[in-house]
Amino acid sequence: MAKIRLTRRKLLAAAAPLAAVPLVGKLALDAQAQASGHDHSSHGHPRSPASHVHGAMGHAAMVGEEAPAVGGPNDLDALLFPPPALPYEPGRVREYALTATDVDLEVAPGVFFSGWVYNGTAPGPVIRATEGDILRVRFVNAGQHPHTIHFHGIHPTNMDGVFEIVPTGGEFTYEFEARPAAFHVYHCHSMPLKKHIHKGLYGAFIIDPKEPRPPAKELVMVMNGFDTDGDGSNNFYTVNGRSLYYARYPIKVKRSELVRVYLANLTEFDLVNSFHLHADFFRYQPTGTGDTWEYTDTVMQCQGQRGVLEIEFTGLGLHMFHAHQSEFAELGWMGFFDVVD
């Protein structure tokens, strides 16, 4: 598929003629048309892909095969589903290995982003430990720039990812006691910090409490954005790195089962991002700490903020979720839970 470059202005302008078809959907269809050499514009074809989808669907969203997204149905499972929580065990060591590389990420069909990433994806892999574990992370820098890993949480300052800059071809092992129990994030802390984070060097970091949380279907959602034309503003917004992915492949959950979502925001260039759930409410615990829960259907997070959502769906069917900044949703940050019995 041909690579295309789309400015934010072009993306938003393309939304004008669309009554109900999400913007990214039209752009991806147009990109596919360009790549195949066919003109599907309303001027050159009596039945454009956008008008066809709109007429066929009869509702204000794309879902399933009508939602253009990169990849297959299980491509992002390693980012969506965290490693299982382990019961507390004194003296246990949890070991991980992260490698920084430079890669081209396809964030929407035919749209590529030149990224710097941990282990090949943006966000990077989910790291999980139980409070009191010794966390040992071997970091290898195979990229073209100096990088680090900064873990949120409590640890010695010589393990903070600020002073131990790792050059190209170098490596460093982070080792510290995992604490406090909470939902954290990790990211590169090399300068310029804005560029290293925006390029994709970040991920989710869960520290479970010694007294485990109730059993649940657990999901990780890292909100992020991609500036695909280098103008300092995002052209696409996603969860776990691919626009409209969870619209094409809705997340299946069971009615009345406890669903726990670890939600984090690592979006650069925008002050806040948000999560809004349709047709139900959830409990929200900021940072995953304390005993206070908010009962709501919308939460806002600035960069680096995170929290834990718990939901027991009361109804069946497709429940949309998306950013409640409408522009973010139109530029790819939208998906569905498919609630079944």
- 89-133 pLDDT tens trace: 999 999 999 999 999 999 999 999 999 999 999 999 999 999 999
Give the pLDDT band (50/70/90) at residue 7.
Answer: low
Span 193-231, pLDDT tens digits: 999 999 999 999 999 999 999 999 999 999 999 999 999
State the total domains in the chain.
3
What's the pLDDT score for residue 61? 74
The domain in which residue 221 lies consists of 217-340
* pTM over cut 0.85: yes
Both 247 and 179 in a single domain? no
Which residues face 251 on adjacent strands?
337
Q: Please report which helix (H) or strand (E) contains residue 292, including its range.
A: none
Q: Looking at the domain assignment, is residue 73 inside a domain?
A: no
- Asked, as a colleague might, if the bond just before 212 is cis with ω within 30 of 0, I would say no
In this predicted structure, the answer to whether residue 24 has a pLDDT above a threshold of 60 is no
Residue ending a domain, among 154, 184, 208, is: 208
CATH number at residue 170: 2.60.40.420
Both 336 and 250 in a single domain? yes
Both 153 and 91 in a single domain? yes
Residue ending a domain, among 155, 182, 208, is: 208
What's the pLDDT score for residue 11? 58
Contacts of 257 (CB under 8 A, 6+ apart): 216, 217, 312, 313
Q: What is the mean pLDDT of residues 259-266?
A: 98
Q: Looking at the domain assignment, is residue 175 inside a domain?
A: yes
- Using the CB atoms, write b or e for 108-135: b if 16+ within 10 Å: bbbbbbebbbbbebbbbbbbbbbbbbeb
Strands 111-118 and 150-151, bridge-based pairing:
unpaired
Both 246 and 312 in a single domain? yes
Q: Looking at the domain assignment, is residue 1 inside a domain?
A: no
Both 109 and 59 in a single domain? no
